[in-house]
Chain A
Amino acid sequence: MLTYLIRRFLYAIPILIGVNLITFALFFVVNTPDDMARMQLGTKRVTPDAIAKWKAERGYDKPLLWNAQAQGSAKLSDTIFYDKSVSMFAFDFGRADDGRDISTEIRSRMGPSLAIAIPVFILGLWVAISFALLLVFFRGTYLDLTGVVVCVAMMSISSLFYIIGGQWLVSKVWHLVPISGLGPGLDAGRFLILPVVIAVVSGIGGSARWYRTIFLEECNRDYVRTARAKGLSELTVLFRHVLKNAMIPILTGVVVVIPGLFLGSLLIESFFGIPGLGSYTIDAISAQDFAVVRAMVFIGSVLYIIGLWLTDISYTLVDPRIRLS
């Protein structure tokens, strides 16, 4: 059991190396630093001097993989690859274009991101599972049919519209909560309600429908028939037997995203002006700040791998077949 988890943990290393190589290739091989400098500086001021200065400021003036001029181990370490890629393993991401340290920035922005992401995750899961259970309890009736149609309709609306519509309705028409920003301390709650509700609502359609399919699949299994033959009520069958078994496939899809909550929600944060990692990423993308994007890619994949690992652990908690063999 423990060796299994350790082995799965070690599996992360080659994957992170792979991610690192991909980002390195993407950022430094597809385009040379010269290209990036030219792009950033714009066409007017492109002089060789300006390019050299731009590269020197950001440490892109070194050779890519092998520094022939350096001495000893510096031949390897005094390169772009070592500076920009290998150092990521130590969570050292360097500086953004505006000169701030990326690691500090990330640390300070994690809080607001989580303040939205965690309530969204828990509420969303709870609402979607309850809704799906309701539909399954009334399966085959018009309520079920209507529910499915509503789910499909909700899935067909772009998340952009949920945000725009929600903002407009609640903040401009009803004047209930502030439209964007984040206040200090407890006051933050007022700012967070709307984004959380919108994020939950926009996710319900897809996930409730998916859970419903899983529940229905479980409902057709033999052990459910056995449970009914025992004289259990439909509700007991659903909650004690079906739900427990259905949690296994649901966990696969759900647990893996938990660590990703740190990354926040790109759209919600940028629409509501919340200073989290999501809006940080969006800002970096629109400012074409390669260093920040690279850092976020790396952190994102680290979190994903932690998610995979958590999935393994949660499996062993829920499924005795894995726990005990």
Chain B
Amino acid sequence: MKPVLLWSDILLFLLVFISIGAAWWARRNPQLCAAWRQVGASRIGVAAATILVFFVVVALLDSVHYRERLAGKAGESQQYSVEVVSVLDAVLHTQKTRTEKTYSAPLAMHLFAKESLTDSAGKSVGRDFPRLKFGGQHLSNEDEWAGDVAKHIVIGLLGALLLGSALVFSLRRIVLACAPWFAWQAAAITLAGMFAVGGVIVALAPYYHVFGTDKVGQDVLYLTLKSIRTGLLLGTLTTLVMLPAALLFGILAGYKSGWIDDVIQYVYTVLNSIPDVLLIAASMLMMQVVIDTHPDWFATAAERSDARLLSLCLIMGITSWTGLCRLLRAETLKLRELEFVQAAQAFGVSSWAIMARHILPNVMHIVMITLVMNFSSLVLAEAVLSYIGIGVDPATISFGTMINTARMELAREPMVWWSLVAAFCFMFVLVLAANLFADTVRDAFDPRGRVS
């Protein structure tokens, strides 16, 4: 095994470390603690966070990449597969490798399309739906299907019940001991739901394609889980790009009026005036040219699609920093007139120190709120951009590319609906959880938002 560090992996883990560091630092500040405690005490917030944690874990598992060692003969030099795989791929090995020929419905035993069948002697026996290579293969008698599915569902639910209740009770013990304000019931109920669904899927997955297969026979469950990383990455790494620019320019423009303000305002008005989609489209087209004309820069296909993903983050960061920048500028203008800033000026504290010590901490709630609110819109944007063809590399599995291929299938009669529904459900749950979490965070951090 040879570990592969993609740039997006590095940045994602960097972001995780930054978040942990920020949390550690915030621990000492009673106001931030109080705000986060309010989030923790909110049932909706905790339920949403529990779901988000699941998505983050999947994305992180999908961000540890390596190349497998090829089974070579002894004495030969080590050979590695050109295919870069992740830990998630290893976990989902069965789903990844057991591809069918083409479409099959969820939990089906047969292909979706009729084919000319031949018997063992090679003689044609007419057209029918052939049995799948993997789905339901363990059943010799097709009549057993319903009973078998029911059996696995029951097994899954029982397993989930056992494991889930163990987890919930230990969680409750820990929570009641160290954080009694935590809305642990909400977490427990959410976990119960997730375990029930997860248990059924885990129990069925080894024997069936739970969400069916797509046109080239890939397992839709596998595709959906792989899509999570792309969406999450885009939602978070874009932040990493835009945050420094927005903070620096927003506060600088607000605090130092005059020509600095004029220049910064000019830059963001120019950037703002180009419709986002067009700017992204133009930039992505140009990036694609760069990537295509320099094939020698990338060792593997994964690195190439990673470069495209990163450039998408970069470009979306460039188009989205202006919004936060404007908010920060306006807030800094207000703060600048407050008396504690003037008190610092009266001591001759330097401008940079005032901006860092007095302005920055007092705009952090805006940053916090904007970041969580942006996340969901970025995930949604990814799907649209990839659908249009200016998003991630078509080879990268993402919600957008899934929808793009699934959309073609709608025209078929009878309809192939499952990949679309699977993508819809996962995306909806992810974005809804993010939106609800963002709402809770805003309520906790925004002093104005509180309705008395």
Indicate if A touches B (C-beta under 8 A).
yes
In chain A between 125 and 146, which residues have their CB closer than 8 angstroms to a CB of chain B? 139-140
Return chain B residues, CB-CB under 8 Å to A19: 270, 273-274
- Looking at A68-76, A77-85, A299-307, the stretch in contact with chain B turns out to be A299-307
Complex-state Cα separation, A297 to B266, whole angstroms: 18
**B residues less than 8 Å from A285 (CB atoms):** 281, 285, 388-390
How far in angstroms is the closest Cβ of chain B from A25? 10
Q: Is A50 an interface residue (CB 8 A)?
A: no
B289 x A35 contact (CB < 8 A): yes
User: Which residues of chain A come closer than 8 Å to B389, judged between CB atoms?
Assistant: 285-286
Q: Does A30 contact B (CB under 8 A)?
A: yes
Residue-wise, chain B 269-286 has the 8 Å CB interface mask toward A (1 for contact) of 111111101110111011
State the CA gap A263–B267 with chains docked (Å): 23
How near does chain B come to A122, taking the closest CB pair, in angstroms? 21
How distant is the Cα of A239 from the Cα of B22 in the complex, in angstroms?
45
For the complex, what is the distance from the CA of A293 to the CA of B427, rounded to whole Å?
30
Complexed CA–CA distance, A16 and B288 (Å): 26
CA distance A213 to B282 in the complex (A): 35
Output the least CB separation between A222 and chain B (Å). 14
A160 touches B383 (CB 8 A): yes
Q: Quick one: which of A31, A139, A153 contacts B432, CB cutoff 8 A?
A: A153
| B435-452 to A contact mask, C-beta < 8 Å, 1/0 | 110010000000011011
Given contacts A19-B270, A286-B389, contact A297 B279 (CB under 8 A): yes
State whether B282 touches A297 (Cβ < 8 A): yes
Indicate if B424 sits at the interface (CB-CB under 8 A).
yes
* A157 near B428: Cβ-Cβ < 8 Å: yes
Is B210 part of the contact surface with A, judged by Cβ < 8 Å?
no
Cβ of B321 within 8 Å of any chain A Cβ, yes or no, is: no
A48 within 8 A of B: no
Q: Are A30 and B286 in contact (CB under 8 A)?
A: yes
* A301, B274: Cβ atoms closer than 8 Å: yes
CB pair B384 A158 closer than 8 Å? yes
Instruction: Point out the residues of chain A lying under 8 angstroms from B282, CB to CB.
Output: 23, 26-27, 293-294, 297
Q: Which of A31, A155, A270 contacts B290 (CB 8 A)?
A: A31
Min CB distance A116 to B, Å, is 16
Q: Which one of B277, B278, B388, B399 has the highest number of Cβ atoms from chain A below 10 Å of its Cβ?
A: B278
Once A31-B290, A31-B293, A158-B380 are accepted as A-B contacts, the answer to whether A293 and B281 lie under 8 Å apart by CB is yes
Find out whether the CB atom of B448 lies under 8 angstroms from the CB atom of A217.
Answer: yes
**CB contact list, B165-205 vs A, under 8 A:** none
B239 within 8 Å of A (CB atoms) = no
Closest A residue to B274 by beta carbon equals A301
By a CB distance below 8 angstroms, the chain B residues around A293 are 278, 281-282, 285
Q: Is B403 positioned at the interface, with any CB of A under 8 Å from its CB?
A: yes
Question: Are B435 and A156 within 8 A (Cβ)?
Answer: yes
Q: A297 is contacted by which of B274, B289, B420, B452 (Cβ under 8 Å)?
A: B274
Let me know if B376 is at the binding interface, CB within 8 A. Answer: yes
**In this assembly, does A246 line the interface, its C-beta being within 8 Å of a C-beta of chain B?**
no
A13 CB to closest chain B CB (Å) equals: 12
Closest A residue to B436 by beta carbon equals A152
- A281 and B388 CA atoms in complex are apart in Å by 10
Task: Check A281 against B278 for contact (C-beta < 8 Å).
Answer: yes
**Which B residues are in CB contact (< 8 Å) with A286?**
388-389
B101 contacts chain A at the CB level, 8 A cutoff: no
Chain B residues with CB under 8 Å of A139's CB are 451
With most chain B CB atoms within 10 A of its CB, the pick from A139, A158, A217, A288 is A158
Q: Which residues of B sit under 8 angstroms from A27, Cβ to Cβ?
A: 282, 286
Which secondary structure dominates chain A's binding surface? helix
Q: Does B208 sit within 8 A of A, measured CB to CB? A: no
Interface flags, B385-418, vs A, CB<8A=1, else 0: 0011110000000010001000100100001000
Instruction: Determine the chain B residues whose CB is within 8 A of the CB of A35 once the complex forms.
Output: 289-290, 293
Give the chain A neighbours of B273 by CB distance below 8 A: 15, 19, 300-301, 304-305, 308
Contact between B272 and A304, CB atoms less than 8 A apart = yes
Q: Mark A273-291, 1 if CB is under 8 A from B, else 0.
A: 0000000011001101010
* Interfacial chain A residues near B278, Cβ < 8 Å: 281, 293, 296-297, 300
- With A263-B275, A300-B275, A300-B278 already in contact, the answer to whether A155 and B435 are too (CB < 8 A) is yes
Q: Contact partner of B410 among A168, A216, A301, CB < 8 A?
A: A168
B372 at the binding interface (Cβ < 8 Å): no
**How far, in angstroms, from A304 to B268 measured CA to CA in the complex?**
13
Bound together, the chains give a CA A216 to CA B449 distance in angstroms of 9
Chain A contacts for B403, CB-based, 8 A = 158, 160-161, 164
Q: Which residue of B lies closest to A152 (CB)?
A: B435
- A88 located at the interface, meaning its Cβ lies under 8 Å from any Cβ of chain B in the complex: no
Encoded as 1 (CB less than 8 Å from any A CB) or 0, chain B from 292 to 328 comes to: 1100000000000000000000000000000000000
Cα distance, A139 to B451, chains bound together (Å): 10
In the complex, which residue of chain A has the Cβ closest to the Cβ of B389?
A: A286
Complex alpha-carbon distance, A224 and B272, angstroms:
35
Whether the pair A156, B376 counts as a contact (CB closer than 8 A) is yes
In Å, the complex CA distance between A7 and B269 comes to 16
Q: Indicate if B431 sits at the interface (CB-CB under 8 A).
A: yes
A164 cross-chain contacts in B, Cβ below 8 A = 403, 407, 410, 420
- Complex Cα–Cα for A24 and B277 (A): 18
A36 within 8 A of B: yes
Interface string of A28-46 (1 = CB under 8 A from B): 0011000110110000000
Find B274's partner among A290, A300, A308 (CB 8 Å cutoff). Answer: A300
A103 at the interface (CB under 8 A from B): no
A231 interfacial by beta-carbon distance below 8 Å: no
Encoded as 1 (CB less than 8 Å from any A CB) or 0, chain B from 8 to 51 comes to 00000000000000000000000000000000000000000000
Nearest-Cβ distance from residue A27 to partner chain B, whole angstroms? 7
* A197 contacts partner chain B, Cβ-Cβ < 8 Å: no
Residues of B within 8 A of A304 (CB): 272-275
B275 touches A159 (CB 8 A): no
For A39, the chain B residues whose CB sits under 8 A away are 288-289, 292-293
Contacts of B435 in A (CB 8 A): 152, 155-156
State in angstroms the CA–CA spacing of A284 and B278 once bound together: 11
B313 to chain A, nearest CB (A): 17
Is A220 close to B, CB under 8 A?
yes
Complex alpha-carbon distance, A290 and B286, angstroms: 9
Closest Cβ–Cβ distance, residue A77 to chain B (whole Å): 25
Which of chain A's residues have a CB closer than 8 A to the CB of B289? 30-31, 35-36, 39
Contacts of A38 in B (CB 8 A): 293
B234 CB to closest chain A CB (Å) equals 13
Nearest first, the 8 A-B pairs at minimum CB distance are A18-B270, A156-B432, A301-B273, A300-B275, A156-B431, A304-B273, A31-B289, A297-B278
Sample of 6 more A-B contacts, CB < 8 Å, known A297-B278, A301-B275: A15-B266, A31-B293, A155-B431, A161-B403, A220-B451, A301-B274
- 6 contacting pairs across A/B (C-beta < 8 A): A15-B269, A31-B289, A31-B293, A282-B388, A285-B285, A300-B278
